Structure 1
Amino acid sequence: MSVLDHNEYNNHEHVAFFNDKYSGLQAIIAVHNTNLGPALGGCRMWSYANSEEALTDVLRLSKGMTYKAAMANVALGGGKSVILGDPRAAKTPAMMEAMGKFVDTFKGRYYTAEDSGISVEDLQHMEKHSNYIAGIHSKYHISEEKSDGNPSPATALGVFVGVKAAVAYQYNTDLRGVKVAIQGLGSVGIRLARHLKNAGAELFVADVYKPNVTVAAEELGAVIVDPQDILTLDVDVIAPCALGATINPTSLPNIKAKVIAGAANNQLANEGIGTECRNRGILYAPDYVINAGGIIDIYHQKIESSDRGLKSHIENIGQTLTDIFKGSDEQDLATNIVANKIAEERFLKK
């Protein structure tokens, strides 16, 4: 099947495939739209079942980055890259250097950064061969962590702000005593858990990687749940923070929470699921709005090169979501449809 015929193609500007025999790198870069500025999107390494699955993922993710940048009010477009392979077993420095060469072929139309399976150290190897690697050198940070370029603290803060806004809108309360089920405890999920714990929330957590849930249980007193059951718990909020499409026709009927607000990209299996959420009385925080803290951080660090208003820019995610929630009720439309309309008005008008 041609890429042009793929059901997720959606008028992408550029899709490129790369195979490096020396390092074993197999990768795809997709640039969706650059009307507002150069495309920015992290590099993900994952054990995809096949190249078709990888292509679907990169196309969906790059489109989502276009919408994310537009809603975050940054002068960037949307792109994404994926590497096929197990990041814990197959990744090598040579492979990361080859990825840097691949990124450099776009000559500044695409910037990459950290995503699932990729570390700051990996980005440093990429940077040896490209000036278009973001999220490595930070001049400032929003937390007490080491300022190493990792955007995860900013992403986690934005999601936390978004969860607060969603809970306030749906339940008219703060987070004290609110039960939150977190699906996925990677670099963003565990930081979100800490924010929620500090705000008084009760935590229920699941991750396929057992050391992650052990940390959450021992450090935060979280209840460990089987990954297959995490979305079905009788809680107030579910926070998808792993891979996408977990909110789907199979899982949705079993969801008891009345708020879905998490860090994962492409949480809805399809756009129609957003309408189903609304019909069931579930308030969905559009993923590319609530998880925009990372792109905001990288924009301030790499593109704009200014620390002015970084934290307030991230905290504004809460107000943006509240406006979407109000628009959803006023227009009787799903929150994801309302967000899409706003984003498209911004990036398609150029």
Structure 2
Amino acid sequence: MFAMMETTRLESLHFAQDPQTGLKAIIAIHNSRLGPALGGCRYISYPDEQSAIEDALRLAKGMSYKAALAGVAQGGGKAVIMRPAHVDNRGALFEAFGRFIETLNGHYITAMDSGTSSADMDCIAQHTQHVTSTTAEGDPSPHTAMGVFAGIRATAMARLGSDNLEGLRVAIQGLGNVGYALAEQLHAAGAELLVSDLDEGRVQLAMEQLGAHPVAREALLETPCDILVPCGLGGVLNSQSVLQLRCAAVAGAANNQLASSDVADTLQARGILYAPDYVINAGGLIYVALRHRGESLVAITSHLTQISRRLTEIYAHAQADKRPPSRVADDLAERLLYGP
């Protein structure tokens, strides 16, 4: 366990269980140099405890890097709750999790993530103030989409020489809350949309409302386009799939898009510009962090411009050094987290 923590440079790892509600929770705090750790709470099924721990560690590290480059005074953390096969009272389970968070005395702030909702955050908030994205604070998804849209424009400028998206073929993989909101913005900007999603109803809606062209899920990655926008599950770019790409750039909202760091080198060799996911999708983090501090929507929207500026900086360094943007981003984040 300690070897895993040392490898990821994790500060602390916390466990809690509550047999009465079925709660089995893990909170990983990766780095708090820049402020209290903030990260979402996942509520999904895991094959075993080790898988849950590894997920928490990996995601907490990503949140540290994301917060550092987003310019918010937060550290990185993550919570995972191992979803039981049967739950008698979901509200009671999340209230128990809220009591667990409170024992950490503000060192960790939780938020929505995969499998959780604002209603779950409301339950947590009954027992701790160290929670955000409650019903009162609102869904961060629209701001994630706004940040990704700005990042796509910065990516288009760096790779195609213009941030005008009119007429560009943009392939969106995943039309969830973020993906669909992003599709609406891209449509308004005049982009031609190619879309796929597990939910055929979402695809049909995009066809009717946005004039999108449906593409089979298994064919999207190899479909010719200007920009590929992954907005679904992570790990979509692996050693095999990256060879199928027929795009100039990849810039999407999904977390952990690269199955391994080596994939970044393949993208670089193929001349495909990659927007580091934890940089371009930081809008949701910016929203929940600043809302938690009571900042106005105007201030939050203004802070979102940090995303395109940071990407432009990363692309410039990557071009000058002939290195993948993801490796440049990692170096910048680590300097902020650990010093030169």
**TM-score, length-normalised on structure 2?**
0.92
1:144 aligned residue: none
2:115 aligned residue: 117
Q: Does 1:267 align with 2:257?
A: yes
Equivalents in 2 of 1:290, 1:82: separation in Å?
A: 23
The 1:182–1:282 alpha-carbon spacing in structure 2 relative to 1, beyond 3 Å, is: same
Equivalents in 1 of 2:235, 2:89: separation in Å?
A: 26
1:312 aligned residue: 302
Q: Does 1:150 align with 2:148?
A: no
CA deviations 1:261-281 (Å, max 9, x no partner) are 111111111222212211110
Q: Is the 1:45–1:87 contact (alpha carbons within 8 Å) kept by the matching residues of 2?
A: no
The 1:214–1:46 alpha-carbon spacing in structure 2 relative to 1, beyond 3 Å, is: farther
Q: Is the 1:205–1:224 contact (alpha carbons within 8 Å) kept by the matching residues of 2?
A: yes
Q: How many residues align?
A: 339
Deviating above 6 A after TM superposition, structure 1's stretches of 4 or more consecutive aligned residues are 86-91
Equivalents in 2 of 1:208, 1:79: separation in Å?
A: 29
1:302 aligned residue: 292
Q: Is the 1:85–1:91 contact (alpha carbons within 8 Å) kept by the matching residues of 2?
A: no
1:187 aligned residue: 177
Single out whichever of 319-328 and 167-176 deviates more from structure 2.
167-176
The 5 Å alignment of 1:105-184 reads: 105-136=103-134, 148-173=137-162, 174-184=164-174
Equivalents in 1 of 2:141, 2:54: separation in Å?
A: 24
Identity %: 42
Q: Does 1:329 align with 2:319?
A: yes
Equivalents in 2 of 1:220, 1:160: separation in Å?
A: 16
Equivalents in 1 of 2:287, 2:230: separation in Å?
A: 21
Shift of residue 124, structure 1, vs aligned partner:
0.4
Q: Which amino acid aligns with 1:18?
A: A
Q: Which amino acid aligns with 1:166?
A: T
Shift of residue 215, structure 1, vs aligned partner:
2.7
Which secondary structure does the structure 1 equivalent of 2:218 belong to?
Answer: coil
Q: Does 1:227 align with 2:222?
A: no
2:57 aligned residue: 59
Q: Is the 1:8–1:60 contact (alpha carbons within 8 Å) kept by the matching residues of 2?
A: no
Runs (5+) with no aligned partner, structure 1:
139-147
The 1:250–1:28 alpha-carbon spacing in structure 2 relative to 1, beyond 3 Å, is: farther
Which secondary structure does the structure 1 equivalent of 2:78 belong to?
Answer: strand
Q: Does 1:30 align with 2:20?
A: no
Single out whichever of 157-166 and 231-240 deviates more from structure 2.
231-240
Q: Is the 2:22–2:84 contact (alpha carbons within 8 Å) kept by the matching residues of 1?
A: no
2:19 aligned residue: 21
Which secondary structure does the structure 2 equivalent of 1:281 belong to?
Answer: coil
Equivalents in 2 of 1:6, 1:211: separation in Å?
A: 42
Which secondary structure does the structure 1 equivalent of 2:289 belong to?
Answer: helix
Shift of residue 311, structure 1, vs aligned partner:
1.4
1:71 aligned residue: 69
CA deviations 1:192-230 (Å, max 9, x no partner) are 111111111122222223333333233222223333222
Single out whichever of 163-172 and 40-49 deviates more from structure 2.
40-49
CA deviations 1:95-143 (Å, max 9, x no partner) are 22222222222211010111122111111011111110112266xxxxx
Shift of residue 188, structure 1, vs aligned partner:
1.0
The 1:115–1:348 alpha-carbon spacing in structure 2 relative to 1, beyond 3 Å, is: same
Q: Which amino acid aligns with 2:17?
A: N
Equivalents in 2 of 1:75, 1:42: separation in Å?
A: 16
| CA RMSD after TM alignment | 2.3
Q: Is the 2:5–2:11 contact (alpha carbons within 8 Å) kept by the matching residues of 1?
A: no
Q: Is the 2:17–2:23 contact (alpha carbons within 8 Å) kept by the matching residues of 1?
A: yes
Q: Is the 1:216–1:222 contact (alpha carbons within 8 Å) kept by the matching residues of 2?
A: yes
Q: Is the 2:118–2:135 contact (alpha carbons within 8 Å) kept by the matching residues of 1?
A: no
1:142 aligned residue: none
CA deviations 1:30-73 (Å, max 9, x no partner) are 11000010001111222333333332222111101101111011
**Structure in which a larger fraction of residues adopt helix:** 2
Q: Does 1:238 align with 2:228?
A: yes
The 1:213–1:37 alpha-carbon spacing in structure 2 relative to 1, beyond 3 Å, is: same
Equivalents in 2 of 1:251, 1:170: separation in Å?
A: 21
Q: Is the 1:40–1:110 contact (alpha carbons within 8 Å) kept by the matching residues of 2?
A: yes
Single out whichever of 102-111 and 3-12 deviates more from structure 2.
3-12
Q: Is the 1:8–1:56 contact (alpha carbons within 8 Å) kept by the matching residues of 2?
A: no
Q: Is the 1:32–1:66 contact (alpha carbons within 8 Å) kept by the matching residues of 2?
A: yes
Shift of residue 191, structure 1, vs aligned partner:
0.8
Equivalents in 2 of 1:87, 1:278: separation in Å?
A: 43
Runs (5+) with no aligned partner, structure 2:
none
